Amino acid sequence: MKIQNVSLEEMGRAAKEAAYVLATAPTAQKNKALSVIAEELEIHAALILEANEKDLKTAREQGLSASMLDRLMLNGERLAGIVADVRNVITLSDPVGAETHSRVLENGMALCRRREPIGVIGVIYEARPNVTIDIASLCLKTGNASILRGGKETFHSNMALVKIIQIALEKSGLPAASVQYINNPDREWVSHLLRLDEHIDMIIPRGGAGLHKMCKENSTIPVIIGGFGISHIYVDKTADLERALDLIMNAKVQRPSACNALDTLLVHQDIAEALLGKLAPRLNEGKVKVLAEAPLLPYLSSVNTLEKAQEGDFDTEWLALTLGIACVADVHEALAHMRLHNASHSDAILTHDLRAAETFINGARSAVVYVNASTRFTDGAQFGLGAEVAVSTQKLHARGPMGLEELTTYKWVGKADYLSRP
């Protein structure tokens, strides 16, 4: 155990040293490195697919599900997609060095905030090997060193990918330790990683609620919590009902496994009968299972799979074709329901009443709030951020989809007397 801890310390120290170099590397050099990474990935495609085949073989032997195998699997086409993503990061603008809040103080000091890399970022993620390249290139673009820890199922794939990245970094004159991978599958290493606050500045967990909880409870390093929360659509009495049907169905069925997919529909009591009558056939079409409050059941009698909502149903993030439906008296009751049932990610109101819309926007405690739109919009690319590092549901540092700027911090810079050389 002792030896392992020491070498994680060493990784941390090497990452910090690399971060000093990356912090002042010009954009052109970082872009060059990304370009070499893309080339090296193309050159070594066979090697990567071979490593991936080893992971797939083990996964098949261990009887992993077809969907897990699919997430894990790389092929020529997927690798080309990964390479294209790296080249896309080159086109994004580099936030490092931008100055904001510039002012001249009364005493003549010129003061501003200058954007700079955070330093060393630890990322813990699950089975998809594309995340390795994705995170490494976004961190590199923003001048951050990264220490990566993927799922044990992707061990060989990730080791091959990181080795190629390190070769490309050295060819570009940047430290190989700018991107490192924890090659020990022992869970103990994650616990130790979370306490390396001397070397690591931020932890991004990309995975389920369990991983986030573990990080929150054990990390001495700031953690970006996010990616889950119950998503609601509240249909106000002034909503356009035909439009509401399309938005509800989009939010529920387009990609039910996504964290921004609809979990609970809240319906204003005055339009419950009219809306749910029209919605029932659409829910059947979408093969959606419905869990509704007792008073709503008569309006939903034609739904194929219908149950009375039980305790806890409105606290469940379904990640599946299941929809909870509850009835509320007005926007305030909708907000009260949302507070009680952990609305923190993406929530929407459908309304044509300006006061209801503003009440909802200001009263919802969610990272993203919509008026007359689907919760599915929550996405870095949709928001024009160019990339999405994570979706934060916490309130500090960043909230909602995080792009490149959210991988940076700022320092204050004060300059005085610089014209007064005697």
Instruction: Report the site for its own copies in 224-253 (rule: CB under 8 A).
Output: 240, 243
Which pairing describes strands 202-206 and 179-181: parallel, antiparallel, or unpaired?
unpaired
Which is nearer to its own copies, 61 or 242 (by Cβ)?
A: 242
Q: Which of 207, 286, 363, 386 binds its own copies (CB under 8 A)?
A: 363
Region from 1-9, 30-38, 112-120, 151-159 binding its own copies, contact rule CB under 8 A: 112-120
Q: Which of 24, 257, 301, 304 binds its own copies (CB under 8 A)?
A: 24
Which is nearer to its own copies, 79 or 343 (by Cβ)?
A: 343
Which is nearer to its own copies, 284 or 394 (by Cβ)?
A: 394
8-state DSSP, 329: S
Closest approach of its own copies to the CB of residue 216, in Å: 5
Closest approach of its own copies to the CB of residue 416, in Å: 4
**Which helix (H) or strand (E) is 106 found in, with range?**
none
Region from 34-42, 108-116, 122-130, 288-296 binding its own copies, contact rule CB under 8 A: 108-116
Return d(Cα 199, Cα 221) in angstroms, integer: 9
Contact assessment for residue 117 and residue 144, using Cβ atoms and an 8 Å cutoff: yes
CA 132, 137, 142, 147 torsion-angle sign: positive
Q: Applying CB under 8 A, does 394 fall inside the site for its own copies? A: yes
Q: Applying CB under 8 A, does 28 fall inside the site for its own copies? A: no
- CA-closest candidate to residue 236, choices 370, 340, 366, 341: 370
Return d(Cα 121, Cα 322) in angstroms, integer: 36
Region from 133-141, 226-234, 271-279, 362-370 binding its own copies, contact rule CB under 8 A: 362-370
Give me the amino acid identity at 229.
Answer: G
Return d(Cα 24, Cα 272) in angstroms, integer: 59
Q: Give the relative orientation of helices 130-141 and 155-171 as an angle to the nearest 10 degrees.
A: 30
Please, where are the H alpha helices in 187-271? 188-193, 209-218, 241-253
Q: Applying CB under 8 A, does 100 fall inside the site for its own copies? A: no
Q: Applying CB under 8 A, does 381 fall inside the site for its own copies? A: no
Which is nearer to its own copies, 43 or 105 (by Cβ)?
A: 105
Q: Applying CB under 8 A, does 93 fall inside the site for its own copies? A: no
- CA-closest candidate to residue 342, choices 225, 244, 256, 246: 225
Q: Which of 157, 172, 180, 366 binds its own copies (CB under 8 A)?
A: 366
Token pair belonging to 266: 């809240």
**Which string of x and - marks every residue 397-416 that binds its own copies (by CB under 8 A)?**
x-xxx-------xxxxxxxx
Return d(Cα 98, Cα 411) in angstroms, integer: 11
The SS3 call for residue 265 is strand
Closest approach of its own copies to the CB of residue 370, in Å: 5
Please report where in the chains the tokens 């009698």 appear, as a residue: 301
Q: Which of 62, 65, 67, 420 binds its own copies (CB under 8 A)?
A: 420
Q: What distance, in Å, lies between the first and last C-alpha atoms of the chain?
A: 61
Q: Applying CB under 8 A, does 368 fall inside the site for its own copies? A: yes
Return d(Cα 197, Cα 409) in angstroms, integer: 17
Q: Applying CB under 8 A, does 62 fall inside the site for its own copies? A: no
Q: Applying CB under 8 A, does 201 fall inside the site for its own copies? A: yes
Please report where in the chains the tokens 């990784």 appear, as a residue: 11
Which is nearer to its own copies, 56 or 391 (by Cβ)?
A: 391
CA 41, 43, 47, 53 torsion-angle sign: positive
Q: Which of 103, 210, 311, 312 binds its own copies (CB under 8 A)?
A: 103
What are the strands, taking DSSP E only, across 118-261?
120-125, 145-149, 179-181, 202-206, 232-235
Q: Applying CB under 8 A, does 371 fall inside the site for its own copies? A: yes
Helix, strand, coil percentages, rounded to 5, for the chain: 45, 20, 35
Which is nearer to its own copies, 318 or 360 (by Cβ)?
A: 360
Region from 4-12, 63-71, 111-119, 311-319 binding its own copies, contact rule CB under 8 A: 111-119
| Residues lying near its own copies in the complex (CB under 8 A) | 20, 23-24, 97, 103, 105, 109, 111, 114, 116, 118-119, 197, 201-202, 216-217, 220, 222, 240, 243, 339, 352, 357, 359, 361-373, 377-378, 382-384, 394-397, 399-401, 409-418, 420-422
